[in-house]
Homo-oligomer: A and B are copies of this chain.
Amino acid sequence: MDLCGLRLRNPTMLASGVLDETAATMVEVARAGAGAVVTKSVGRSPREGHANPCVVELDVGLLNAMGLPNPGIEYFSEEVKAVKREGVTVIGSVIGGSEDELAEVAALMADAGADAVELNLSCPHAKGLGTEIGSTPENVERVCRASKERIKVPLFAKLTPNTSSISNLAKAAEMGGADAVVAINTLKGMAISPEARMPILANRFGGLSGPAIRPIGVRCVYEIHDAVEIPVIGVGGISTGRDALEYIMAGATAVQVGTAVWTRGPGVFKSICDDISRFMDEYGYSKVDDMVGAAHDTKP
C-alpha cells in the first residue's frame, strides 16, 4: 500500500519509542511483520532520559517516562543507514527544543536515508520538548513549515491528545506543510504508590499508552479526518486487527503499534494483519483503502 508515496508491505508500523533505539532491533521487528518502523525520537545531542523507574505496568496499559533517551542524530544516522541496508521502510522520529533545532535534526534524519520524518510534537513528559512545543496550533504550523523546507521526504506531525482540540493542531500541521498527521501520542498521567507515598515514576509524570487510550485515539482520528485532507496515521492502544479497524474506519490510512509489543510481542504485527485480512474477506472489502474513514459515511 501507499502512504504519501511510501511503499508499505502492510498498514502496520512500529510506533516511535518502542524497540527502536538500535538498528538490529528495528530489523527484527520488521522481520516479525511490521510494514515500517518509526525510530525512537532522536535529537541533536545525546540524552540519557529520565532516571528509573521509568515505566509502570497497569492493568489498562502502560505509563512511561523514558524521557526521550537517544544517542543524538549524528550517531543515530548510522543506525538508520543500517536499517535501510536491510530494505526496511524507516520513518525517522525527531525532537528538538526549537523550530530550528527540529528542522536541523529532521534534515539530518532525511540525509541519513529515512523514508519519512516524523516530528514528535507530543511527548508529555520531557521538559522543553514534545508537547511543550506542540501544544498550540501556531507552534505546530511554524515548526512544520520550518522542517518541511529542509527535507524532500514526506513529513509527518505527531500530535498530542492533551489538548482541547486536536483537530486545530491537525489543521495547523496541514497548513505548515505536513504530509500526514500521526495521532495520538500518550496522555499525560501519573501513578502513585500509597505505600511509598510518592509518584512511582522518577519523573513523577509519564505518558499513558495501551488499551486505556484507544477510545481517545479513535475519537481523535475521527475528528482529524473531518478536519484535514492529508492522511492520518492512527496510534494508541492497538493490539488486535479489530482495534486497527476502529482506527481505519475512523479515518486512519495506516496504524502504529507500541505498547502491544509488550503484551503480545513483535508477532503482534502479523497477527493484526491476519485479523484485518480475515475481516475483509468476511465483510467483502478488497482493499484497506475502501475502509479508510468508512465510519463517517453511515451516521448512526
Which residues of A pack against B, CB within 8 Å?
58-61, 63, 131, 135, 160, 162-164, 187-192, 194-202, 204-206, 208, 211-216, 218-219, 222, 242, 245-246, 248-250, 279, 283, 291, 294-295, 297-300
What are 23 A-B contacts with C-beta separation under 8 Å?
Answer: A60-B212, A163-B163, A187-B187, A188-B216, A189-B216, A189-B219, A190-B218, A192-B246, A192-B295, A194-B245, A194-B248, A195-B283, A197-B298, A198-B295, A198-B299, A198-B300, A199-B222, A199-B295, A204-B299, A205-B219, A208-B216, A212-B212, A212-B215
**Nearest B residue to A298, CB-CB:** B198
B197 and A297: CB pair below 8 A? Answer: yes
A222: which B residues are within 8 A, CB to CB? 190, 192, 199, 204
Write out the residue numbers on chain B whose beta carbons fall within 8 Å of the beta carbon of A131: 164
Docked-complex contact A249 and B164, CB < 8 angstroms:
no
* Complex Cα spacing A298 to B195, Å: 12
B163 touches A189 (CB 8 A): no
| Chain A binding surface SS class | mixed
A191 B218 Cβ-Cβ under 8 A: yes
Contacts of A245 in B (CB 8 A): 192, 194
Considering the chains assembled together, what is the distance between the CA atoms of A190 and B220 in angstroms? 9
Residues of chain B within 8 A (CB-CB) of A59 are 211
Note all chain B residues with C-beta closer than 8 A to A162: 164
Given contacts A208-B216, A212-B60, contact A250 B194 (CB under 8 A): no
Q: Which of B63, B242, B248, B295 is within 8 Å of A215, CB to CB?
A: B63
Instruction: Enumerate chain B residues within 8 angstroms of A190, measured Cβ to Cβ.
Output: 215, 218-219, 222, 250
Q: Given A197-B295, A216-B188, A300-B199 in contact, is the A211-B60 Cβ separation under 8 Å?
A: yes
